[in-house]
Amino acid sequence: TLSTLNKKVGLQVEEEQRCLEAKDHTITQLLAIKSQLEGQVNKQDSTLEAHGCRIVELMALNDALAQRLKEQQVEEKPSDIVNPSDIVAKTKVEEEQSDMLATDCSVAELLAIKSQLEGRVNEFERTTDTHRCRIAELMALNDALAKRVKKQQEEATRMAAMVAEVKAIRETTEVELQASHDVVARKDQIITELTERMTQACQQVERLEKEIMTNAGTIAALSAVKEKAKEHMEEISTKDIIIAELVAVKSQLEGEVEAHGCRIAKLVALNDALVQRVEEQQEDITTHMQLAKERDNIISDVENKCAELMGVQAKLANLTEKAHAQHELILRQENMVKELTLTRQALEHQAYAQSMESALQDGAIVDLLG
């Protein structure tokens, strides 16, 4: 979202820069037109000055010719005698009159040229006034555009500052997000490890439960064997009593040994068999005692494993608290992203308003140029 906001703000800034460049180009064209018009005005002013000087010279020449004509008319006198010098003078006068007529024609032409020049001067003055008004309007427009350009440059500077601030916020947010991602990755890794440990613990608990069940069966078997051993012990005690009785009977029947030799031999064989059976039962009891010790060791191992499982559950509780803290941090970061989104929307509205105002100004410039 921050990268998209940054791209949009960058595009808006580039669009504003293009608008400013277009306006600068328009202002440059207007200044070039202004300089051309000033050059034309200066050129026409110099042309008017030259024509004015020429007209003044022609008017001075006309006055001189008129004065000379009057002097010649005053100097002419009627005479009946025709002298060659008079003929020569008359010829000279006629030549001078023809020259004066030619000069009058030239003066008339010059006066016509003067009237044309005066018309052109008046037209040029009107055109110059129009151009001056146009130049004044263009200068006013140039001043307005310069103010607008200055304002837009200030706006662009402010936008650049805002963009830099947004970039700084984005970099800070990216660093925080990267840290959050690292923390989340670490949390996921820890959760994965804990899950694996929980799985292993569950497997171990299942194995221990199986062992406990097996041990329970063994204990039940041992209990049965113990019961049987108790029964055998009772039998042995009973047989000891019987043996004691037999010994008593033997002591009583010592006198009858010879008579009862076969019976005594049988009793001796029975006694040997009973002794052997008692020895076997004692071995079984020893084995049962070892199994009971092993059962006690297994039960202690199971208790230790249960204690380890309790420690693992405590660690899981701590990790759950850390996960809640990370969730709160993510919520704060989402709120920050929402604030940045609102800032981006405000910048978009401002850029849209500026583009509309620039379009209105461009329309006004086109109207003025038209």
Contact assessment for residue 100 and residue 65, using Cβ atoms and an 8 Å cutoff: yes
Angle at 358 between CA 352 and CA 359, to 5 degrees: 90
The average confidence (pLDDT) of the chain is 69
pLDDT (tens digit, 9 = 90+) per residue, 249-275?
A: 556 656 655 665 566 567 667 767 777
Global confidence as pTM? 0.27
Q: How confident is the model at residue 369 (pLDDT cuts 50, 70, 90)?
A: low
pLDDT (tens digit, 9 = 90+) per residue, 188-237?
A: 777 777 667 767 766 766 776 676 667 666 666 666 666 765 666 666 66
Three-state SS at 77: coil
**For residues 37-49, average pLDDT:** 74
CA–CA dist 319, 187 (Å, integer):
8
**Which pLDDT value is given to residue 258?**
64
Please spell the DSSP secondary structure of 322-365, one letter per residue.
HHHHHHHHHHHHHHHHHHHHHHHHHHHHHHHHHHHHHHHHHHHH
CA–CA dist 52, 58 (Å, integer):
10
Give the chain's largest Cα–Cα span: 240
Distance in angstroms between the alpha carbons of the first and the last residue of the chain: 45
Contact assessment for residue 299 and residue 184, using Cβ atoms and an 8 Å cutoff: no
Contact assessment for residue 37 and residue 131, using Cβ atoms and an 8 Å cutoff: yes
| More confident position, 79 or 75 | 75
**Which pLDDT value is given to residue 79?**
46
**For residues 91-114, average pLDDT:** 64
Please spell the DSSP secondary structure of 199-230, one letter per residue.
HHHHHHHHHHHHHHHHHHHHHHHHHHHHHHHH
Domain housing 240: 2-369
| More confident position, 18 or 255 | 18
Q: Where are the beta strands (DSSP E) in the chain?
A: none
The pLDDT of residue 38 is above 60:
yes
Three-state SS at 71: helix
pLDDT (tens digit, 9 = 90+) per residue, 327-364?
A: 777 777 777 777 777 877 777 777 777 777 766 766 66
**Which pLDDT value is given to residue 80?**
44
DSSP letter for 81, please.
S
**For residues 76-93, average pLDDT:** 55
The pLDDT of residue 75 is above 50:
yes
- The full length of the chain comes to 370
CA–CA dist 231, 237 (Å, integer):
10
Residues 6+ apart with CB under 8 A from 44: 124, 128
Q: How many domains does the chain have?
A: 1
Percentage of the chain beyond pLDDT 70 is 52
**Which pLDDT value is given to residue 43?**
79
**Which pLDDT value is given to residue 265?**
64
Distance of CA 123 to the CA centre of its chain: 64
